[in-house]
Amino acid sequence: MIHGSIVAIVTPFRDGKIDEDALKNLIEFQIENGTHGIVPCGTTGESPTLSHEEHEYVIELTVQTVKKRVPVIAGTGSNSTKEAIRLTRFAKEIGADAALVVVPYYNKPTREGLYLHFKQIASQVDIPIILYNIPGRSGVNMTPDTIARLAGDFKNIIGVKEAAGSVPQASKILQLCGMDFLVLSGEDALNFPLLTIGARGFISVTANIAPKDLSDLYNFYVDGEFDRARDLHYKLLPLNEALFIETNPIPIKAALSMMDKIKYEYRLPLSEMAQNNYDELKQALSDYGLIS
């Protein structure tokens, strides 16, 4: 059910509040361009600055807008196990298809702490769970053996969004967990390379602005048109680089505002781009043909 190009969708704001109309329009833009799934309330969705009520509202609005046309994988992670359980339970009750649960950040749990954290969530909420390993954000790397232990012990832990930036680590996960385990690239520059080792898709930032090319890259690959998939990988490379010139989701929200899809607005501590970086990003979008 879960595969392909999955967008880590932004949370648009207007005057400090969630822009409901803009979010609905972004979802329709994604579905119209072949996106295979949508992740609300991930890193790109600025989940750390959403209140509990807002977090639930964004998940619910996404589920209601998507209407089962593609899977909704709700971001429900927290560095508090109890809070992660509560958010994951809400996602199940509201009709999300799966939960994306990030490795706890800031408190830097041990391997055993990571295992026990995800054990509690998987045991208490009967929903497909995708682990989210992003050591650059969380401060701790969930090793392949811990992932394999969790996958072996809990049938509803179905995969991992792997954003450690390491092809060898992703390979080791697949070797230990088997090719039926869902590995999704969490770094746009590695989407194509990870497909070649057995990943079944990616959760993409770049898909926010170039959904068709990302969905085409995946579709070409699974259809055996490897050269066309590789060509898209290289076409997307400069855009991927520009979108990470500052901390995500600062550039992707700036890019969407340049495309007149959202207001250019963040929540502190995120702020608008430095002017030189903004100009470089604008040039990259122009070169790609996304703006004139």
- Inter-residue contact 127 to 96 (CB < 8 Å): yes
- Alpha carbon 148 to its chain centroid, in Å, reads 21
Active-site annotation holder among 82, 92, 106, 161: 161
Active site residue 132: yes
Which residues are CB-neighbours of 264 under 8 A, at least 6 positions away?
253, 254, 257, 272
Active-site annotation holder among 82, 92, 105, 132: 132
Strand pairing class (37-39; 157-162): unpaired
Which residues are CB-neighbours of 50 under 8 A, at least 6 positions away?
11, 41, 58
Active site residue 161: yes
Which residues are CB-neighbours of 46 under 8 A, at least 6 positions away?
10, 11, 249, 266, 267, 270
Any idea which residues carry the catalytic annotation?
Answer: 132, 161
